[in-house]
């Protein structure tokens, strides 16, 4: 997951490949709560790992639920309708799928509980649910603003003899909460009556489907009256699988509809969700087809290719796909006329006011947008000149971040900045990694920052910190020869001219990763192994082999991939990446570098002298500057940085400032 302050998406061109989606948030949190309330043990497979599910799991643990977790498989021992812990303070983050059903379940079971969340959660309405629960005798108090969390829950005096009335026109989660909680106290038939039009009906269908899996069959009269039969009990099904998230599928369906095909592949294939899905957002497929996407499907897969282009304009009631409809608003930028998404009033009370947020960010891109209480109308941007570079504010809303990534396919070839990309952790922590695995673009669009300089100038430390700050890949070119020497020795190859061809061939298959201060070779940490004295001598021999040097240049070029690269070395800007838009050359003096190296060695208990270190560095500088192949020197367009008296953080700040000054945002 990208944890940077922002993530710059280069202009994207084509897309193809296969993606396996994470589990559905809506299903995951419903299943977790039902499993906790049930009688028996439940093994949950393919559970979504995200902020919202972690919030629910932690709350259930606090209530005394025994939970064993092994990656995406979770085993839950049900509480049998009665929490072990009768008093708790629960933090709900910004998870509506956690706080609303938990409020209802705790309110009917009784105890002493406080439920709080982040600031935005305290702005999301819960009053209609509280009003409904109070009708049947639940004790719930508002701790701050009436109608909103945080809440205090006490002991109820229940009376379920009369129908419970709940509004359905603000959020379907209120009805879901009641449906999941009331089987706990169904000594007689319990009736729920919906006041007004019920929005987001497909989410109620998910709830009813899962309740049936847990042994509760709710009787429904249209969408206005629901009856929980007397004697209903929540009973574990033993095992249950969470299907992939249909809302998350919308971004990849849209990707297939928007992007040109990659030359070697024909489509975007989505695994984990398909025609048999119980989620309402699977009907996003129909909306995408209306706009021209070509889609085929099986029980749990979809294949999408671009069909009509530009996309066809639509005017659509989106009440049945409220979350996925946000993706349509970005697809509208590529349409042949205005697109209107209607009946989306629920957007106003989601993670943010999504109608206002989408309108604001679409306008940044250059679009003309009309918004109303329950609709948004977007005019397309048919000409490259109509598009503007934009830094997208994401409002701590995962779906805003994900759907606006599709704007990087704009015909103007402009980058798109996504602020706070880590907000996708709510439902799809690895979204951007998944996106980059499917999309392609010309190398000229993928940025490279080169950090060159002499030995012990701090270039590796600066480059690694810079890459972390920007979310870019990191290349430590100085380690490449050492890694090659280690791999050649391990393969039993002679490190001389007789083994030159074989070593060059070996280089082509090396899998090297630089991450978090570690160097991995084929998944094994070789950080210390490559620094041994013997391996250093072999690295010098390897560097003298022309075929190996050529193979390593190709290997270094392979690190030039989305979303960008920071490369450190001696000739990154002058020889390896001469077209890099920013090249920095460090100019710390030999005296300063010797002082740094002296401190490092002394801290490790290695005896040395400043004079010897300085003499050695000056000798190495002389060799590097006068060698025939790629001598050490600044690229003509390099920015010189004397970091003698600068901390690493200050140096990073300077380089980031130079980089941002080159961006169009």
Residues of the binding site: 25-26, 30, 96, 124, 171-173, 200, 323, 350, 354, 399, 426, 453-461
- 295, 288 Cβ separation under 8 angstroms: yes
Q: What distance in Å separates the CA atoms of residue 323 and residue 426, rounded to the nearest whole number? A: 14
By 3-state DSSP, what share of the chain in percent is helix, strand and coil, each rounded to 5?
A: 40, 20, 40
- 504, 551 Cβ separation under 8 angstroms: yes
**Among all residues, which ones are annotated catalytic?**
323
For residue 226, give both structure tokens.
Answer: 């629901």
What are the residue ranges of helices labelled H in 370-513?
398-404, 431-438, 459-470, 477-490, 500-507
User: Binding site residues for phosphoenolpyruvate, as ranges?
Assistant: 25, 96, 124, 173, 354, 399, 426
- 90, 102 Cβ separation under 8 angstroms: yes
- Cβ neighbors of 663 (< 8 A, separation 6 or more) are 8, 389, 415, 417
Exposed / middle / buried, residue 418 (Cβ in 10 Å: 0-12, 13-18, 19+): buried
Look at residues 455, 199, 461, 460 and name the one whose alpha carbon lies nearest to residue 342: 199
- What's the residue count for the chain? 665
Q: What distance in Å separates the CA atoms of residue 573 and residue 558, rounded to the nearest whole number? A: 16
Look at residues 72, 37, 44, 53 and name the one whose alpha carbon lies nearest to residue 240: 44
Q: What distance in Å separates the CA atoms of residue 407 and residue 254, rounded to the nearest whole number? A: 11
Residue in this structure with the two tokens 């309708």, named with its chain if needed: 81
User: Binding site residues for 3-phosphoshikimate, as ranges?
Assistant: 25-26, 30, 171-173, 200, 323, 350
Q: What distance in Å separates the CA atoms of residue 597 and residue 47, rounded to the nearest whole number? A: 49
Look at residues 452, 449, 519 and name the one whose alpha carbon lies nearest to residue 484: 519
Look at residues 145, 193, 202, 135 and name the one whose alpha carbon lies nearest to residue 173: 202
Q: Parallel, antiparallel, or unpaired for β 225-228 and 219-221?
A: antiparallel
- 144, 172 Cβ separation under 8 angstroms: no
């Amino acid at each position: 997951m990208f944890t940077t302050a922002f993530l710059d998406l280069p202009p994207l061109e084509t897309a193809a490949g296969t993606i396996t989606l994470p589990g559905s948030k809506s299903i995951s949190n419903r299943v977790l709560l039902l499993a906790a309330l049930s009688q028996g043990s439940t093994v949950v497979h393919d559970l979504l790992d995200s902020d919202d599910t972690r919030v629910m799991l932690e709350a259930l643990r606090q209530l005394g639920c025994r939970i064993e977790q092994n990656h995406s498989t979770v085993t839950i021992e049900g509480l049998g309708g009665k929490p072990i812990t009768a008093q708790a303070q629960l933090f709900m983050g910004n998870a509506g799928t956690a706080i609303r059903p938990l409020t209802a379940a705790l309110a009917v079971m009784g105890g002493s509980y406080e439920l709080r969340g982040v600031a935005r959660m305290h702005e999301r309405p819960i009053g209609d649910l509280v009003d409904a629960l109070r009708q049947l005798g639940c004790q719930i108090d508002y701790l701050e603003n009436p109608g909103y969390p945080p809440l205090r829950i006490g002991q109820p005096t229940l009376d379920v003899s009369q129908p419970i009335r709940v509004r359905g026109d603000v959020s379907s989660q209120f009805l879901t909460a009641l449906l999941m909680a009331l089987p706990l106290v169904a000594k007689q038939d319990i009736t729920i009556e919906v006041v007004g039009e019920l929005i987001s009906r497909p989410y109620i269908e998910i709830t009813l489907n899962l309740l049936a899996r847990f042994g509760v069959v709710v009787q429904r009269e249209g969408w206005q009256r629901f009856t929980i039969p007397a004697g209903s009990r929540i009973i574990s099904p033993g095992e249950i699988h969470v299907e992939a998230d249909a809302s998350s599928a919308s971004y990849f369906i849209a990707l297939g509809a928007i992007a040109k095909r990659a030359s070697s592949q024909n489509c975007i294939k989505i695994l984990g969700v398909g025609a048999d899905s119980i989620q309402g957002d699977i009907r996003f497929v129909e909306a995408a087809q209306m706009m021209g996407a070509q889609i085929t499907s099986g029980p749990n897969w979809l294949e999408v290719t671009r069909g009509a282009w530009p996309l066809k304009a639509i005017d659509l009631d989106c009440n049945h796909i409220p979350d996925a409809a946000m993706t349509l608003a970005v697809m509208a930028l590529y349409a042949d006329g205005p697109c209107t998404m209607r009946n989306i009033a629920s957007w106003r009370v989601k993670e943010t006011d999504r109608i206002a947020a989408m309108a604001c960010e679409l306008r940044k891109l250059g679009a003309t947008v009309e918004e109303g209480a329950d609709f948004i109308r977007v005019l397309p941007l048919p000409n490259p000149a109509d598009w503007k570079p934009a830094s997208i504010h994401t409002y701590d809303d995962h779906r805003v971040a994900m759907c606006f990534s599709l704007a990087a396919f704009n015909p103007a070839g402009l980058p798109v900045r996504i602020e706070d990309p880590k907000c996708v952790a709510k439902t799809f922590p690895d979204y951007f990694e998944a996106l980059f695995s499917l999309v392609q673009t010309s190398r000229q669009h993928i940025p490279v920052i080169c950090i060159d300089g002499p030995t012990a100038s701090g270039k590796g430390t600066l480059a690694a910190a810079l890459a972390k700050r920007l979310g870019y890949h990191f290349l430590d070119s100085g380690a490449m020869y050492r890694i090659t020497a280690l791999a050649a020795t391990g393969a039993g190859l002679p490190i001389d001219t007789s083994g030159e061809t074989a070593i060059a061939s070996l280089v082509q298959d090396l899998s090297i990763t630089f991450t978090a201060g570690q160097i991995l070779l084929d998944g094994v940490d070789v950080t210390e192994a490559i620094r041994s004295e013997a391996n250093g001598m072999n690295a010098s021999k390897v560097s003298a082999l022309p075929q190996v040097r050529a193979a390593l240049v190709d290997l270094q070029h392979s690190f030039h991939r989305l979303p960008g690269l920071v490369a450190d070395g001696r000739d990154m800007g002058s020889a390896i990446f001469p077209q890099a838009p920013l090249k920095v050359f460090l100019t710390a003096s030999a005296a300063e570098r010797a002082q740094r190296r002296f401190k490092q060695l002394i801290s490790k208990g290695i005896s040395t002298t400043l004079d010897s270190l300085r003499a050695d560095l000056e000798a190495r500088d002389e060799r590097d500057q006068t060698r025939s192949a790629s001598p050490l020197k600044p690229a003509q367009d390099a920015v010189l940085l004397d970091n003698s008296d600068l901390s690493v953080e200050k140096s990073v700040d300077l380089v980031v400032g130079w980089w941002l000054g080159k961006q169009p945002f």
